[in-house]
Amino acid sequence: MEIGKAADSAASYVLERMMKKDVLAIADLTTKDLEKILKRAAVLKKMQHQGKSRQTLKGKSLGMIFEKSSTRTRVSFEVGMYQLGGQALFLSSNELQLGRGEPVADTARTLSRYLDGIMIRTFAQSTVEELAHNASIPVINGLSDLHHPCQALADMMTIREKKGRLKGLKLAYIGDGNNVANSLIEACVKSGMHISIGCPHGYEPDAAVLRNAEREAAQTGSELAIVNDPLKAAKDADAVYTDVWASMGQEAEHAVRVRAFKGYQVNARLMKAAHPKAIVMHCLPAHRGEEISADVIDGPQSVVFDEAENRLHAQKAVLEMLMR
């Protein structure tokens, strides 16, 4: 390649890297980004329910890398790309050269030549970040052990649907301070919601997430509390949220965690501490009889399947924002 052309190519790559945006955590989004995504998601949902569609991503391709199994993430991203006029490619880590030791950086650079965006569902947040650092196309975190931003966006969309607003409401999260809890904390403080985490000692959310959230909460007026009493966490909450006690990759800890989380079940007794019109949320899959009782998750206050549907619409809004 001629020197001038090589320089132009390098400059073009740098420009693409500067202009591209990733969603690796809710913290990557500005408050304006969050509002834009939620508004657009509501429009896309309404259009879908009316049988209307816009081919805003016609001709675009999304690569979906899965190192963790999935129901909602795979189906919602695949269907979402189809509804927007694009295509999604399922890429199992067992079938990629990643599974044979190819560096993440090389995979990122190669896929950037073929695709318009990458979604990855994996274990380590460092894998997501390395992929994004080396890709010249947008990267979306479909789930890591540290963050689950797409779930939190769907959750915020659901709360706003049911309550008409976010700012000033209280979300109570009961259970393990896992990736979902981390992303909910970031989403709540960014939107001005109050959030109370009820968890046992040793199962608190990530310390760095908490430090950053406390700084942002001071600017948005959000209140953030970590308590060990689930009833205290749930007091007067407008939404009560829980997740499984043992996430993927923690199956060997299940028995230990069941003992640690005894008393942290979202059930009728706990719901009496919340606001009478509180909604019940769960990111699914759920273990009835463990983190949540069957009568609550299947009861009239539950919005878990609206929440699951909203993964589709919130992610479509993210795809448009990054790839359009």
Q: How far apart are CA 278 and CA 238, in angstroms?
A: 4
Burial class (CB in 10 A: 0-12, 13-18, 19+), 70: middle
Is residue 151 part of the annotated active site? The answer reads yes
* Furthest CA-CA distance within the chain: 73
148 assigned to active site? yes
Candidates 116, 145, 206, 243; catalytic one: 243
**Residue count of the chain:** 324
Torsion, CA 208, CA 210, CA 212, CA 215, rounded to 10: -150
Q: Which position among 188, 283, 313, 315 bears the catalytic label?
A: 283
Known catalytic residue at 282: no
Which one of the listed residues 125, 311, 313, 315 is annotated catalytic?
311
Q: Which of 121, 257, 282, 313 is catalytic?
A: 121
Which letter, b or e, does each residue of 32-63 get, where b requires 16 or more Cβ atoms within 10 Å of its Cβ?
ebbeebbebbbebbeebeeeeeeebbeebbbb
Nearest-CA neighbor of 93 among 64, 113, 73, 56?
Answer: 64
- Number of other CB atoms surrounding residue 278 within 10 Å: 22
Q: Which of 151, 188, 206, 315 is catalytic?
A: 151
CB 244 within 8 A of CB 285: yes
Residue 311 falls in the annotated catalytic set: yes
The answer to whether 121 is a known catalytic residue is yes
CB 24 within 8 A of CB 149: yes
- Catalytic residue from among 72, 147, 148, 257: 148
**Integer Rg of the chain from CA:** 20
Q: Are strands 239-242 and 279-282 parallel, antiparallel or unpaired?
A: parallel
What is the rounded distance in angstroms from the CA atom of residue 313 to the CA atom of residue 305?
13
Q: Cα(258)–Cα(283) distance, rounded to whole angstroms?
A: 19
Positions annotated as catalytic residues are: 121, 148, 151, 243, 283, 311
